Amino acid sequence: MAPPNKDNLFGSKKQAAPAKANQLDSTVKEILASEQAMRARKTARLRELRLEKEASQPPPEPKMKAKRKTAKASEAAKSESEK
């Protein structure tokens, strides 16, 4: 056994910080990956439900734009109704 000194009794603080940082990085990466997988599953499920709903509904009828009345036409209609 080696004689006790500060390095073999307490360890090097320079090695502890990178080890903690690596552990934290890997934990964060695992959490982010699991959250991303959950988002992807939810998005796929919602997309599937939306497509089923759209397939079951009849296609919407095209909307016709309302024709604008010009000022001259509205004045002519008023004058005819007054007669």
> How does pLDDT run along the chain (83 residues), one tens digit per residue?
678 787 777 766 666 788 889 999 999 999 999 999 999 999 999 999 999 999 998 877 888 887 777 666 666 666 666 65
Q: Tell me what pLDDT residue 36 has.
A: 98
pTM: 0.50
Dihedral angle over CA of 9, 12, 15, 19, nearest 10: 40
- Gyration radius of the chain's alpha carbons: 37
Q: Which residue has the tokens 């964060």?
A: 28
Q: Tell me what pLDDT residue 24 has.
A: 93
Q: Tell me what pLDDT residue 42 has.
A: 98
